Amino acid sequence: MKCSSFFTASIALLAGAATAAPAAPLSVREPPSGVLPGLLNGLAKVLPAPLGNGLLNGVGEVFKGGDALLNNIVDAAETTLKGRPDKAITNAIQNGLGLLSSLPKDAANIAGIGGKKPASPKE
């Protein structure tokens, strides 16, 4: 009986998930909530603005680096399994160089001296 009820509940859950409404577009979604974002946002509000912004930008860059590393490993493995180890190496080098070339801009954003270019005066 327990197995049958588990199976029925699983089917009902999958059917409900299949008919659920799609996620809202990114611009309409709420900001991420949870322990880490809550702690970081709370700490950023307590610190002076430049330090708080630098903290948030720095944490963002750590996650960006981790994401790039994991994506490069997966992409290289996938390309190698498709029989193109030469392309896997080339892509890994290109992606690594792209990440390294963004470091100065990222460091400037963390330090608070980067960001958007000032608007040019209209004539």
| pLDDT tens, residue by residue, 47-98 | 887 888 888 888 888 888 888 888 888 999 999 999 999 999 999 899 889 8
Where is pLDDT greater, at 76 or 35?
A: 76
Q: Is 15 exposed, middle or buried (0-12, 13-18, 19+ CB in 10 A)?
A: exposed
Predicted pLDDT at 8: 60
Q: Is 57 exposed, middle or buried (0-12, 13-18, 19+ CB in 10 A)?
A: buried
Using pLDDT thresholds of 50, 70 and 90, give the confidence band for residue 11.
low
> Which run of H or E residues covers position 109?
helix 103-111
Is pTM beyond 0.75? Reply is no
Distance CA 61, CA 63 (A): 5
Does the structure show a pLDDT above 50 at 45? yes
| pLDDT tens, residue by residue, 20-33 | 445 444 445 455 66
User: Average pLDDT of 105-122?
Assistant: 67
